[in-house]
C-alpha cells in the first residue's frame, strides 16, 4: 500500500511483519533479564515453566492483539473505540467494583488512591473498553521512559567498550564504575538522548521505510552477533559448567514465585498487554496467516532469550565468576569476563551493540504505539507526532535517568507523591517500571483477552483469523496434526476440535484466570509464595558477588 496520507501503510509482506514484531518482542527483556532470572530460578526447570506460560498465555493473547489490530486497522484506542459495544455489562460491573473500592479507600482517608480508583471507575462508565486502549498508550509512555534509560546505558557502554574503558580486573571495580556511570547526569541523559533520537529517526520514516526496513537489517545482525558470541563462549575452556548451570533443570529451586515470575516475564518479553503488537498488527494485510505469524514471533523471541543465556553463562563460568548476581550480570560481570578474554574490548563492543540493537527495535515499537494514536485519532502528521512525543518521552525519561538510585534530585516530586499516596516504593525509575510492568501490562493483557473472549466474541475474531488461515478454524485439529487436512474423509464440516476452538477456551477462561492470579499476587492481595519459598536457598558453590542493585531492574 502506498504512503499516501489517506491510505494506511502496510508491511511489504509476512516477513516484514514477523521481523518487526519479533524486533519489538526481542529486547532487553530477552538478553538482559531472561538469562539471570533463569539462572536464579532453577535453570532448565524454569525454562520449562516459561515455555508453558508462553504457550498457555503468550500465544493466545498475542493472537488476540494481532487479530484486533488487523481487523480494525487502528491504534489500540481506535481499535477498542470501533468495537466497543454501546452497553457492556462486564464493563459496568468492573466500573462499579472500582467506584466502590474508591469510596472505601476515601472512607479510610487514602485520598490519593481513593481519588485515582474512583476516577478510573467513573471513566470505565464513560469510555467502556476504550479505556484499555488508552491504558496501552499511557503504558507506551511509561515503559519507554525507563526502557530508554537502560538502553542509554547500553549506548554508553558500547562507546566505553570501543574506547577500551571496560577493562575491569574484578567485579567490585566494575560495580563502582557502573554505579558512577549511572548517577552521572551527563552520561545518563546524554546516552538516553542518543537512544531516543535513534527511535525518533526510525519511527519518523514510517512503517515500511522506517520500522520494517530497520527491523530487516537489525534482526539478522542481532542473530549473527548472538551466534558469534555463543561460539566464543562455548569454546573457552571450562565453558560446559556454564551450560550445565543454565540449562540443567533443578526443580528444587522452582517455587510458586518462579511460576509467577515466568508469567510476568512472558508478558513483558512478548510485548503484550499494551497494544504494541496490536499496533503492528494493524499494518498487516488480509492475506496473511495470523496464527503462523504469532507462532513465528513467539518462537523467535524464545529462541533469542535462550541463546542469550548461552552467549553469557559459559563465558562467566569459564572465567570463574558468579553467575547468580541478578540484574548486574550484563553491566558488571560481563565486561569483567570480557576483560579476561583475548581481544576483550572487541567482544565487549559487539556484545553491547547486540544489546543496543535489541533495545532499539523494542523502543521503536513503543514509540509507534504513541505515534499511531496521535496519527489515527488526533489526525496529527506522523512526523509531528513522532518528534513531539519523542521529546516528551525523552523529558519523562530524563527524570528516570537522574533518579535511578533515589529521589535526591527530585525532592519536590517525591513530596507530592508521598503527600498523595502515603508512601512511594523505590525511585522514580522504579515507580515507572512498577506501574508499567506490574500493573499496566497484566491488566492490559487481562482486559484484552476478556474483551476478545466475551465482548467482541471469539466468533468474530475467528472470522478475522480465517482470512489467510483456513486451517486455524476449519480443519479438525487431529487431521491437521496428522497431515490429513486435505483428505475428503477428514473434512467433515461438523468438526469442532480445531485450533480455533482450543484458542477460544484459552482466551475465555485459562488466560484471564492465570493473569488475574499472577496480578493479584504481584500487587500483594493474594500471597501464594509464602509456604513454598520460605526456606532460604542454599549458598551457591562459587563465591557470592555483591547483591544486585534493585533499582536497575526494569
Ligand atoms: N518486549 C520487550 C523486551 O523484551 C519490551 C517491551 C514491552 C516492548 C512492551 C514493547 C512493549 O525487552
Q: CA-to-CA distance for 197 and 23, rounded, in angstroms?
A: 18
Residue with cell 477460544: 504
Residue with cell 516528551: 392
Q: CA-to-CA distance for 121 and 236, rounded, in angstroms?
A: 58
The answer to whether the CB of 313 falls within 8 A of the CB of 321 is: no
The answer to whether the CB of 157 falls within 8 A of the CB of 166 is: yes
Instruction: State percent of the chain over pLDDT 70.
Output: 93
* Three cell numbers written together for 469: 488461515
DSSP assigned state of 217: H
Q: How far is the CA of 323 from the centre of ligand 1 (A)?
A: 24
Element spanning 428, H or E: helix 428-433
pLDDT above 80: residue 538: no
DSSP assigned state of 214: H
Q: What share of the chain is helix, strand, coil (3-state, %, to 5)?
A: 75, 0, 25
pLDDT of residue 6: 53
Ligand 1 closest atom vs CA 441: 9
pLDDT above 80: residue 115: yes
Mapping DSSP onto H, E and C, the string for 330-379 reads HHHHHHHHHHCCCCHHHHHHHHHHHHHHHHHHHHHHHHHHHHHHHHHCCC
Pocket test residue of 20, 22, 23, 25 for ligand 1, highest count of atoms within 8 A of CB: 25
Q: How far is the CA of 20 from the centre of ligand 1 (A)?
A: 12
Averaged pLDDT score across all residues of the chain: 89
Q: Dihedral of CA 296/302/305/308: which sign?
A: negative
pLDDT of residue 494: 66
DSSP string for 145-213: HHHHHHHHHHHHHHHHHHTT----SSHHHHHHHHHHHHH-HHHHHHHHHHHHHHHHHHHHT-IIIIIIH
Ligand 1 closest atom vs CA 362: 8
Pocket test residue of 275, 276, 279, 437 for ligand 1, highest count of atoms within 8 A of CB: 276
φ and ψ of 270, to 5 deg = -90, 10
Neighbouring CB atoms inside 10 A of 405's CB total 18
The answer to whether the CB of 9 falls within 8 A of the CB of 206 is: yes
Q: CA-to-CA distance for 410 and 125, rounded, in angstroms?
A: 36
549 — pLDDT class (breaks 50, 70, 90): very low
* Three cell numbers written together for 338: 570480557
Q: How far is the CA of 268 from the centre of ligand 1 (A)?
A: 5
Cβ burial of 122 (10 Å; 0-12, 13-18, 19+) is middle
- Measured from CB, residues less than 6 Å from any atom of ligand 1 are 24-25, 27-30, 143, 268-269, 271, 274, 276, 362, 365-366
Q: pLDDT tens across 474-509, in order?
A: 888 877 887 777 877 776 666 678 899 999 999 999
Element spanning 92, H or E: helix 89-107
pLDDT above 60: residue 539: no
pLDDT of residue 544: 37
Ligand 1 closest atom vs CA 272: 9
The answer to whether the CB of 67 falls within 8 A of the CB of 290 is: yes
Under DSSP, is residue 452 helix (H, G, I), strand (E, B) or coil?
Answer: helix
CATH number attached to the domain at 2-84+129-522:
1.20.1740
Q: Dihedral of CA 544/546/551/554: which sign?
A: negative
Q: CA-to-CA distance for 500 and 465, rounded, in angstroms?
A: 9
Q: How far is the CA of 365 from the centre of ligand 1 (A)?
A: 8
Question: Residue ranges of the alpha helices (H) in 249-289?
Answer: 256-269, 276-281
Q: How far is the CA of 236 from the centre of ligand 1 (A)?
A: 32
Q: CA-to-CA distance for 552 and 285, rounded, in angstroms?
A: 39
Question: Which of 294, 287, 372 lies closest to 8 in space, CA to CA?
Answer: 372
The answer to whether the CB of 19 falls within 8 A of the CB of 299 is: no
Q: pLDDT tens across 415-463, in order?
A: 998 888 888 888 899 899 889 988 899 999 999 999 999 999 999 999 9
pLDDT of residue 547: 37
Residues 6 or more apart from 532 whose CB is under 8 A from it?
A: 255, 256, 257
Element spanning 517, H or E: helix 511-522
Q: How far is the CA of 273 from the centre of ligand 1 (A)?
A: 10
Residue nearest to atom 9 of ligand 1 (CA): 271
Mean per-residue pLDDT for 217-227? 94
Q: pLDDT tens across 348-395, in order?
A: 999 999 999 999 999 999 999 999 999 999 999 999 999 999 999 999
Residue nearest to atom 11 of ligand 1 (CA): 271
pTM score = 0.90
- The alpha carbon torsion through 485, 487, 493, 497 (nearest 10 deg) reads -40
Q: CA-to-CA distance for 184 and 196, rounded, in angstroms?
A: 18
Residue nearest to atom 6 of ligand 1 (CA): 271
∠ Cα 436 282 19 (to 5°)? 80
Q: Dihedral of CA 28/33/34/35: which sign?
A: positive
pLDDT of residue 489: 73
Any idea where the domains of the chain sit in the sequence?
A: 2-84+129-522
* Three cell numbers written together for 512: 484471564
pLDDT of residue 553: 38
**Buried b / exposed e across 81-99, counting CB within 10 Å, b at 16+?**
bebbeeebeebeebbeebb
Q: How far is the CA of 21 from the centre of ligand 1 (A)?
A: 10
Amino acid at each position: 500500500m502506498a504512503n499516501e496520507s489517506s491510505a494506511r501503510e502496510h508491511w511489504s509482506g509476512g516477513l516484514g511483519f514477523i521481523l518487526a514484531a519479533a524486533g519489538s518482542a526481542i529486547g532487553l527483556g530477552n538478553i538482559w533479564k531472561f538469562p539471570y532470572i533463569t539462572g536464579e530460578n532453577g535453570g532448565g526447570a524454569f525454562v520449562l515453566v516459561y515455555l508453558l506460560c508462553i504457550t498457555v498465555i503468550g500465544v493466545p493473547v498475542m493472537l488476540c492483539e494481532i487479530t484486533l489490530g488487523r481487523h480494525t486497522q487502528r491504534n489500540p484506542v481506535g481499535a477498542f473505540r470501533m468495537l466497543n459495544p454501546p452497553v457492556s455489562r462486564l464493563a459496568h460491573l468492573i466500573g462499579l467494583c472500582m467506584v466502590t473500592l474508591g469510596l472505601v479507600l476515601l472512607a479510610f482517608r487514602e485520598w490519593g488512591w481513593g481519588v485515582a480508583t474512583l476516577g478510573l471507575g467513573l471513566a470505565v462508565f464513560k469510555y467502556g473498553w476504550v479505556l484499555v486502549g488508552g491504558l496501552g498508550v499511557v503504558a507506551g509512555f511509561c515503559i519507554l521512559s525507563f526502557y530508554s534509560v537502560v538502553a542509554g546505558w547500553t549506548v554508553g557502554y558500547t562507546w566505553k567498550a570501543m574506547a577500551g574503558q571496560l577493562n575491569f580486573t574484578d567485579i567490585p571495580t566494575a560495580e563502582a564504575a557502573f554505579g558512577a556511570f549511572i548517577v552521572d547526569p551527563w552520561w545518563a541523559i546524554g546516552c538516553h538522548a542518543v537512544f531516543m533520537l535513534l527511535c525518533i529517526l526510525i519511527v519518523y520514516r514510517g512503517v515500511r521505510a522506517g520500522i520494517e526496513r530497520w527491523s530487516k537489517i537489525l534482526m539478522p545482525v542481532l542473530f549473527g552477533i548472538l551466534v558469534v558470541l555463543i561460539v566464543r563462549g562455548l569454546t573457552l575452556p571450562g565453558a560446559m559448567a556454564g551450560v550445565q548451570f543454565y540449562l540443567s533443570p533443578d526443580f528444587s529451586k522452582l517455587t510458586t514465585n518462579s511460576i509467577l515470575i515466568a508469567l510476568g516475564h512472558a508478558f513483558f518479553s512478548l510485548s503484550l498487554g499494551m497494544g504494541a503488537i496490536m499496533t503492528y498488527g494493524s499494518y498487516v494485510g488480509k492475506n496473511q496467516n495470523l496464527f503462523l505469524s504469532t507462532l513465528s514471533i513467539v518462537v523467535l523471541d524464545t529462541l533469542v532469550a535462550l541463546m542469550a543465556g548461552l552467549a553469557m553463562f559459559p563465558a562467566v563460568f569459564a572465567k570463574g565468576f558468579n553467575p547468580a548476581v541478578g540484574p548486574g550480570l550484563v553491566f558488571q560481570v560481563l565486561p569483567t569476563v570480557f576483560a579476561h578474554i583475548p581481544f576483550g574490548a572487541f567482544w565487549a563492543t559487539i556484545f553491547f551493540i547486540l544489546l543496543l540493537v535489541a533495545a532499539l527495535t523494542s523502543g521503536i515499537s513503543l514509540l509507534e504505539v504513541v505515534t499511531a494514536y496521535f496519527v489515527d485519532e488526533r489526525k496529527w502528521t506522523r512526523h509531528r507526532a513522532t518528534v513531539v512525543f519523542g521529546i516528551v518521552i525523552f523529558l519523562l525519561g530524563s527524570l528516570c535517568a537522574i533518579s535511578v538510585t533515589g529521589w535526591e534530585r527530585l525532592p519536590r516530586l517525591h513530596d507530592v507523591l508521598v503527600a498523595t499516596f502515603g508512601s512511594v516504593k523505590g525511585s522514580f525509575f522504579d515507580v515507572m517500571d512498577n506501574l508499567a510492568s506490574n500493573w499496566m501490562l497484566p491488566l492490559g493483557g487481562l482486559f484484552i483477552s476478556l474483551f476478545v473472549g466475551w465482548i467482541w466474541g471469539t466468533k468474530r475474531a475467528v472470522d478475522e483469523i480465517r482470512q489467510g488461515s483456513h486451517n486455524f478454524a476449519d480443519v479438525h485439529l487431529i487431521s491437521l496434526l496428522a497431515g490429513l487436512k486435505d483428505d475428503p474423509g477428514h473434512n467433515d464440516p461438523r468438526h469442532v476440535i480445531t485450533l480455533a476452538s482450543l484458542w477460544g477456551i484459552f482466551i475465555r477462561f485459562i488466560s484471564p484466570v492465570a493473569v488475574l492470579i499472577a496480578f493479584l499476587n504481584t500487587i500483594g492481595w493474594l500471597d501464594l509464595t509464602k509456604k513454598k519459598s520460605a526456606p532460604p536457598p542454599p549458598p551457591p558453590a562459587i563465591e557470592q558477588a555483591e547483591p544486585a542493585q534493585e533499582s536497575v531492574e526494569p
